Amino acid sequence: FALGVFGRYNFAPRFAVKAHFYSGKISGSDRNSAVSEETLMRNLSFRSKIYELGIQGEFNILKFEPYRKDFAFTPYLFAGVSGFHFDPEAYYNRKWHKLNELGTEGQGLPGYEEQYKLYQVSIPAGVGFKIALNELATIGLEMGIRKTFTDYLDDVSTQYPVLADLAEARGEDAKELSFRTPEVDKTTRIFEPDGMIRGNPDKKDWYMIGGFTISISLNEEGYF
């Protein structure tokens, strides 16, 4: 579920520019995965709020002139650039834990990567359809993907750290939240997955935002 506000300026019948702020939530769990038995046994999960601020250019496939009934609707394409904030959490021992500060893949410890940044850049692109109800109001539908340059929206990317080192530096909760297979398979509790694959760093994360839009024109020709 997401909400947001935007301002759009139609500076020509086929071109517009839009600034926006959106807020939403993403989540996922290996328990819902149908990919493989290994993924189910990994047993990782997360949730994260996302706050996005950006600017987009729009190309109207048809001429869009809200004050003329024959040009009052159009599908459109858009692309732009956004900055966003995320902060993945996981539920364990009856409370939510912020995963970035725990470094579940050893981030921030000697010999490991730095802790990932919670402020990132994304490239939004997508399609939409808008129709002017009158010279005042325009409604629409929009769906857009976001290409990011991080693999940590879900706090999963590379491999398991040395769990003993992680526990010593960050505590037992960090160790337990890094390796959660023992919660679904007790026989693995004595198993040390140090250095084994935990994620896939070769593929960065993506997210999508879609929904219903409504805008109110600030001039009589519907251009802003």
Write the pLDDT tens digit of every residue in 103-142.
999 999 999 999 999 999 999 999 999 999 988 899 999 9
What is the pTM for the complete model shown? 0.90
Q: Which range (28-42, 48-62, 81-95, 137-151) has the least confidence? A: 28-42
Question: Higher pLDDT residue, 23 or 192?
Answer: 23
Q: Read off the amino acid at residue 26.
A: I
Predicted local confidence at residue 37, as pLDDT: 81
With cut-offs at 50, 70 and 90, classify the pLDDT of residue 33. confident
Is the pLDDT at 68 greater than 80? The verdict is: no
With cut-offs at 50, 70 and 90, classify the pLDDT of residue 221. low
Could you give the CA distance from residue 149 to residue 126 in angstroms, rounded to a whole number?
Answer: 18
Residues facing 133 on adjacent strands = none
With cut-offs at 50, 70 and 90, classify the pLDDT of residue 95. very high
Q: Which residue in this structure is represented by tokens 């325009």?
A: 138
C-beta atoms surrounding 162 within 10 Å:
17
